[in-house]
Amino acid sequence: MILITHERLELEALTAQARGPSNGAVVTFLGTTRDRTEGRRVLYLEYEAYGPMVDNKLQEILGEIRERWGITDAVVAHRIGRLEVGEVSLVVAVAAPHRKEAFAACTYIVDRIKETVPIWKKEVFEDGHVWVGSEEAGVTTSDSGPDAGSG
Amino acid sequence: MILITHERLELEALTAQARGPSNGAVVTFLGTTRDRTEGRRVLYLEYEAYGPMVDNKLQEILGEIRERWGITDAVVAHRIGRLEVGEVSLVVAVAAPHRKEAFAACTYIVDRIKETVPIWKKEVFEDGHVWVGSEEAGVTTSDSGPDAGSG
Amino acid sequence: MKVRVHLFALYRERLGCGQVEVELPAVASVEALLQSLVETYPSLARLVPNTMVAVNQEYAGRSDALHEGDEVALIPPVSGGRL
Amino acid sequence: MKVRVHLFALYRERLGCGQVEVELPAVASVEALLQSLVETYPSLARLVPNTMVAVNQEYAGRSDALHEGDEVALIPPVSGGRL
């Protein structure tokens, strides 16, 4: 299941979507928004997605874990729009009969999301903002030219 | 945090215990009870723990991830007593600044729990029961002597 | 021919707009489109070397040909290095 | 000396009881305790080779010495092989 939403991500409900009676293991990943980046205090965040392509890429990734591990019980949910510090931006939940595959597939999905899914995060500070690629990057991938500041 | 309880394990609440504003990643593991073992339908399950030693061993394991990854934000909760099929027996939640450590430490905790923590599971079938070591084992580690049946 | 170019994140802010239409010669590559964009919007010049380009929602190479009506998107780097 | 032995899971069911007190010579090892238990409860004989033993809540070796008042536990195998 794939979900791109402005609403709050509910871990329990999303994980329930992935669980099934023949699965003994569920591994989840939560990406949460941090309060600081390189010592600067973050006021809030904004996520922007290239919607249709995000869907395509996530479907591809779910196809890959089906192929590699035979896993069909997986949920990927990404929140977009404005998020407060500490809120959850990404939930990945993978269920499998045994834990080894569940851990491997969940790690794989998160890695692939970071590599190929077009979603960007804006960190807003008191004195400006930066665009970074992912909720964990912590590195300013934008330059800091004169027109990049105070949004 | 360590919790051994007869009550239902609440994923959202337990995960919240591990999260913090400086953590960007939370990885959780859920062990759930399956409906079949080697084709036999499971009616329900019972978990039994050697309580004080479980506590000691889990504290040791949390000490190990603190040592290895500097991670202090981790929760381990194990349910004991009677569980219905599909219910959650184990929740491990690990929060870290970045996802790599969170995945590594969560995998490590679950592996170590299976190796060293004295908790046993009884799978009850229509025509008997078996004791197995862990909720994922799926292998009867007890023998099937004449006095091992129908509990 | 005309192609529509979607802009996100930093690019959208730089150009003040989420999409632009670009007029190109009948035979044109992704690279030609980028050059045309940089001429029109010089503030993109420093960013373009690290940009990925998607054509009809698939990542494309710089030498790939474009076609009338293609949906192009400039993809700023998605992920930082420090994970 | 006396030691208290905790029994879990299959062992508890076999003996019909969660703990037993065992009288041992003043100098005795874990191995000696296991032999004494098997004599009293022959149904344990086949299980004991795969049993771990904890003394005062720490895993112990077969040759470790026991002491008056020790809390011993027989630990059936915790985990199956197929993960």
SS (H, E, C) chain B: CEEEECCCCCHHHHHHHHCCCCCCEEEEEEEECCCEECCEECCEEEEEECHHHHHHHHHHHHHHHHHHHCCCCEEEEEECEEEECCCEEEEEEEEECCHHHHHHHHHHHHHHHHHHCCEEEEEEECCEEEEECCCCCCCCCCCCCHHHCCC
Contact by Cβ (8 Å): D55, D30 = yes
How close are the terminal C-alpha atoms of chain A, in Å? 34
Residue B56 pLDDT: 95
CA angle D51, D54, D56 (to 5 degrees): 165
Q: What is the pLDDT of residues A118-151, one digit of tens each?
A: 999 999 999 889 888 543 333 333 333 333 333 3
- Spatial CB neighbours of A127, under 8 Å, sequence gap ≥ 6: A149, A150
The per-residue pLDDT for range C54-75, each reduced to its tens digit, is 999 999 999 999 999 999 999 8
What are the residue ranges in chain C where pLDDT is below 50?
79-83
Give the Cα separation of A102 and A18 in Å (integer): 11
Q: What distance, in Å, lies between the first and last C-alpha atoms of chain C?
A: 42
CB of C79 within 8 Å of a chain B CB? The answer is: no
Task: Determine which of D8, D10, D59, D70 to mutate to test the interface with B (most B C-beta atoms within 10 Å).
Answer: D10
Three-state DSSP at A60 gives helix
Cβ distance C40 to C24 under 8 Å? no
Render pLDDT for B53-102 as a digit per residue (tens, 0 to 9): 999 999 999 999 999 999 999 999 999 999 999 999 999 999 999 999 99
Return the DSSP state at A149.
S
- pTM of the predicted structure, to 2 decimals: 0.86
Share of chain A above pLDDT 90, in %: 72
CA-CA distance, D40 to D13, in Å (whole number)?
A: 15
- Cα A26-A27-A33 angle, rounded to 5 deg: 140
What is the dihedral sign for C-alpha A39, A40, A45, A49?
negative
SS3 label, residue A64: helix
B109 and B117 Cβ atoms separated by less than 8 Å = no
Q: B 79-138 residues with CB below 8 A of A?
A: 85-86, 95, 97-99, 102-103, 106-107, 110, 135-136, 138
With 70 as the cut, is the pLDDT of residue B39 above it? yes
Which DSSP symbol is given to A39?
T
Residue C82 forms contact with B (CB below 8 Å): yes
Tokens found for residue C11 = 């690019």
Q: For residue D78, what pLDDT is reported?
A: 59
Is the model's pLDDT at B143 over the cut of 60?
no
Q: What pLDDT score was predicted for residue B133?
A: 59
Tell me which residue in D6, D10, D82 faces B50 most closely, judged by beta carbons: D6
Amino acid symbol at A142:
S
D82, closest residue in chain A (CA to CA)? A98
Look at the domain C2-75 and name its fold.
Answer: Ubiquitin-like (UB roll) (3.10.20)
Burial pattern A28-57, b for ≥16 Cβ within 10 A else e, equals bbbbbbbeebeeeebeebbbbbbeebbebb
Following CA atoms D53, D54, D59, D63 in sequence, which dihedral angle do they give, to the nearest 10 degrees?
Answer: -60
Chain D residues whose beta carbon lies within 8 Å of the beta carbon of residue B120: 8-10, 76, 78
Residue-wise pLDDT tens digits, D19-46: 999 999 999 999 999 999 999 999 888 8
Residues of chain D neighbouring B140 (CB-CB closer than 8 A): 80
Contact between chains at B32 and A26 (C-beta distance less than 8 A): yes
Structure-token match 């004295």, residue found: B118
Q: In this structure, which amino acid lies at residue D75?
A: I
- The full set of domain ranges for chain C reads 2-75
Choose between A21 and C73: higher pLDDT: C73
User: Is a pLDDT exceeding 70 seen at residue D83?
Assistant: no
Question: What average pLDDT does the segment A35-52 reach?
Answer: 90
Whether residue B79 contacts residue B30, with contact meaning beta carbons closer than 8 Å, is answered with no
Instruction: Name the token pair of A18.
Output: 């992935």
Q: Does D56 touch chain B (CB under 8 A)?
A: no
Token pair recorded at residue A134 = 């992912």
Nearest 5°: the CA angle A71, D81, A109 is 25
How far apart, in whole angstroms, are the C-alpha atoms of residue A41 and residue A52?
33
SS3 of A113-143: HHHHCCEEEEEEECCEEEEECCCCCCCCCCC
